[in-house]
Amino acid sequence: MKPNAILFVDIDDAKIPHYNYREAHFIAAKQMGMKCLTAALESRRHTERLFADSDAVFYLESLTQEALQRLITTLQQSYTLSAIFCHAGHASASGQIGYTVAKICQQLKLPHASPTSVTTCNNKFLMRQALQKHGIRSIRHALCHTKEELRLQADRVGYPLIAKPPFGAGSAFIKKCHDWAELQTHYDTFTAHYTHSIYIDFMGDTQEYTTLEGKRHISIPGQSLLLEEYLDGIEGTVECVMSQHKVHPVLINEKLILTEKENTVLENLLICPPVSFSPAEQEQIRDYAIACIKAVGLNNAIAHLEFRMTGDGPIVIEINPRLGGLFVNSAFRDIAKLDPYQLYLSILLQKQDIDTQISFAQQQAASIKQHYSMLAIYPEKSGHFQGIENIEHMKNHPNVIECIPQPAGYYINAKTEEHYLLKCWAKVDNSSGAHALHQEMLEHVKPIIVPIP
């Protein structure tokens, strides 16, 4: 009898892994009695971490749909492949791996989010188009490919505005611009430093598409920039779980401190459950999140939806077709009493009563009295990161549940992307307690960064 197995397609070849995604899902899979297989490029440099938790690793010349299908045909001779997945928000030189894996699952009739929905979520311009098509509340926006287009469209969108890559991650090259001079400078920085970003893979490949009005676009990474109307209001996230037919908005996080840096926007402090949204507003947020998820067509997935609560109600910023970062996994665990990795595998494996389980978790999260907070320290300057001074203050703090530093010994760019030098997950009584703990962290814990001449 062939053993049941899952296959993860891994394209994260960064010196410091961008996410702990394969590893956490493999832990959950092994607890379910599954074999864990990994597919990766044979040109991969950092191979040791693949072998640390994979039952078998398979190298391919490319990660195209055809190459992966050949591998899967071979694997099916020895394994019963129950699920195939990847980090759906990550692209590579092979293209958008989230789309490719979704196409393969579609052909094999394995549960997975649709290829179109994954592409729509990953591209913020396509997401706006989908909302517009379905009449969901959104904002003025424009996709630009030249400075001339930027200047013309910025006047139409109106200042202040947000300028960012349409397909990206890590808050790379995001800026609030108040006038043409700021926007022009930001665009120059984006085009000049794009190839040096650690998040370059996340920005996708060249894509062609047509707007609802019939305008043709060719989106080019490192050249195309999305302009969006700036939103006033409190920012938050909705952590959603989608089964085959139902959308569950399980958690709402509120962002207590956001820092707008030179070419990036950083999340310093979050709290869950939220403290600024009334019960009626939280219901409005959940209903709006469901409408947005349905508009982009996402199912069989976990999604991280970011929004701002404006005078007109919540308006979406982005929809990520994967589990949120920072400590969203811990929020699922401690607030909703769900293991998000086991949950996602259960969705892909079509376990029975999954909607009942998620609905119960949502009720648990809605009734919880304890507040939790995500805290982060970011670099104030670029340079060689050598570690954290007095990190024990937070590791030993009675309120802190988890405390994770970034690995030392690497160069970090503080101007154009986010770097969690230290992130903590903690119990707090309220927003004042969260702010006090964050301030205590800033006062006692010091990153060591040596500037490079």
Is 65 within a domain? yes
Q: Are residues 358 and 375 in the same domain?
A: no
With a cut of 90, say whether residue 250 has pLDDT above it.
Answer: yes
Q: Are residues 252 and 360 in the same domain?
A: yes
Identify the pLDDT of residue 242: 96
Find the domain containing 391 and state its range: 369-453
Round the CA-based radius of gyration of the chain to a whole number and report it: 21
| pLDDT (mean) for 446-451 | 93
Q: Are residues 343 and 437 in the same domain?
A: no
Identify the pLDDT of residue 60: 95
Of residues 48 and 284, which shows the higher confidence score? 284
Is 400 within a domain? yes
Q: Which of 92-96, 193-197, 285-289 has the lowest mean pLDDT?
A: 92-96
Identify the pLDDT of residue 220: 82
With a cut of 80, say whether residue 182 has pLDDT above it.
Answer: yes
**Percent over 90 (pLDDT), the chain:** 77
Q: Are residues 175 and 289 in the same domain?
A: no
Closest of 358, 317, 355, 313 to residue 337, by C-alpha = 358
Give the DSSP letter of residue 406: P
Quote the strand ranges of 120-212, DSSP E: 141-144, 161-164, 175-177, 207-210
Query: Cα separation of 114 and 99, whole Å?
Result: 8
List the structure tokens of 83: 């699920």
CATH code (residue 307): 3.30.470.20
**Percent over 70 (pLDDT), the chain:** 99
With a cut of 70, say whether residue 170 has pLDDT above it.
Answer: no
DSSP H/E element including 447: strand 446-450
Of residues 452 and 46, which shows the higher confidence score? 46
Q: Which of 87-91, 265-269, 270-274 has the lowest mean pLDDT?
A: 87-91
Q: Are residues 316 and 395 in the same domain?
A: no
List the structure tokens of 215: 């305008």
Is 35 within a domain? yes
Is 117 within a domain? no
Cα-to-chain-centroid distance, residue 56: 27
CATH code (residue 201): 3.30.1490.20
Identify the pLDDT of residue 93: 64
CATH code (residue 447): 3.90.1170.60
Query: Cα separation of 397 and 374, whole Å?
Result: 14
Q: 253 with 235: CB under 8 angstroms?
A: no
Q: Which of 351, 366, 381 is the last residue of a domain?
A: 366
Q: Are residues 352 and 386 in the same domain?
A: no
Is 327 within a domain? yes
Helices then strands, counting H and E runs in the chain, come out as 14, 23
Pairing of strands 4-9, 35-41: parallel
Of residues 418 and 367, which shows the higher confidence score? 367
Q: Are residues 256 and 351 in the same domain?
A: yes
With a cut of 90, say whether residue 416 has pLDDT above it.
Answer: no
Q: Are residues 90 and 105 in the same domain?
A: yes
Residue 207: pLDDT band (50, 70, 90) is confident
Q: Are residues 381 and 451 in the same domain?
A: yes
Give the dihedral sign, CA 288/101/38/60: negative
Q: Are residues 335 and 241 in the same domain?
A: yes
Query: Cα separation of 319 and 322, whole Å?
Result: 9
Query: Cα separation of 269 and 328, whole Å?
Result: 13
Q: 205 with 221: CB under 8 angstroms?
A: yes
Is 130 within a domain? no
Q: Which of 323, 344, 366 is the last residue of a domain?
A: 366
Identify the pLDDT of residue 401: 98
- Residue 187, phi then psi, degrees to nearest 5: -65, -40
CATH code (residue 42): 3.40.50.20
Q: Are residues 404 and 287 in the same domain?
A: no
Domain count, the chain: 4
Is 25 within a domain? yes
Helix axes 124-133, 279-296, angle to 10 degrees: 100
Side-chain half-sphere of 421: how many Cα atoms within 13 Å?
A: 29
| pLDDT (mean) for 354-373 | 94
* Three-class SS state of 110: coil
Query: Cα separation of 199 and 163, whole Å?
Result: 17
- Residue 269, phi then psi, degrees to nearest 5: -150, 130
Query: Cα separation of 127 and 121, whole Å?
Result: 6
Computed over every residue of the chain, the mean pLDDT equals 92
Query: Cα separation of 95 and 100, whole Å?
Result: 8
Q: 176 with 207: CB under 8 angstroms?
A: no
Q: Are residues 255 and 336 in the same domain?
A: yes
Residue 91: pLDDT band (50, 70, 90) is confident
* Three-class SS state of 153: helix
| pLDDT (mean) for 240-263 | 92
Identify the pLDDT of residue 435: 98
| pLDDT (mean) for 217-245 | 92
Q: Which of 366, 389, 409 is the last residue of a domain?
A: 366
